[in-house]
Amino acid sequence: ILNVEQSPQSLHVQEGDSTNFTCSFPSSNFYALHWYRWETAKSPEALFVMTLNGDEKKKGRISATLNTKEGYSYLYIKGSQPEDSATYLCAFNSGGSNYKLTFGKGTLLTVNP
């Protein structure tokens, strides 16, 4: 069983703060790293799929970086808003197909107005 660790487990920030969290994964057999955003009572929704070392992706105020050699990815949120409150999941793909995805436990972000 592969180890995909996300830290912190949870955090609370004030509206307007920038924040970041980490996903750590094995540095071997890397195929892809997925980030999903999961709001309470809704479906997880894909943010990014990253495949190359050094990849940087951006979607509005959210961005992500990838280091496959050392086995980590950072997710950054600039100027957090209450609507950013959600659980952020990362998933490491160790094979060529999505049945090889291993999910982390997630980081629960709460943004206080």
Partner 1 sequence: NAGVTQTPKFQVLKTGQSMTLQCAQDMNHEYMSWYRQDPGMGLRLIHYSVGAGITDQGEVPNGYNVSRSTTEDFPLRLLSAAPSQTSVYFCASSYSGKSNEKLFFGSGTQLSVL
- Between 38 and 76, name the residue whose CB sits nearer to partner 1: 38
Which residues make beta-bridge pairs with 74? 22, 65
The residue from 106, 108, 109, 111 that contacts partner 1 (CB under 8 A) is 106
Task: Give 78's DSSP letter.
Answer: S
Shortest distance (Å) from residue 51 CB to partner 1: 5
Sequence-ordered list of residues with C-beta below 8 angstroms from that of 104, at least 6 positions apart, any chain: 4, 5, 6, 23, 89, 90, 91, 92
First to last CA, the chain: 39
The mark string for 85-104 relative to partner 1 (x by CB under 8 A, - otherwise) is: ----x-x-x-xxxxxxxxxx
Which residue ranges make up the site for partner 1 (CB under 8 A)? 1, 4, 31-32, 34, 36, 42-46, 49, 51, 89, 91, 93, 95-106
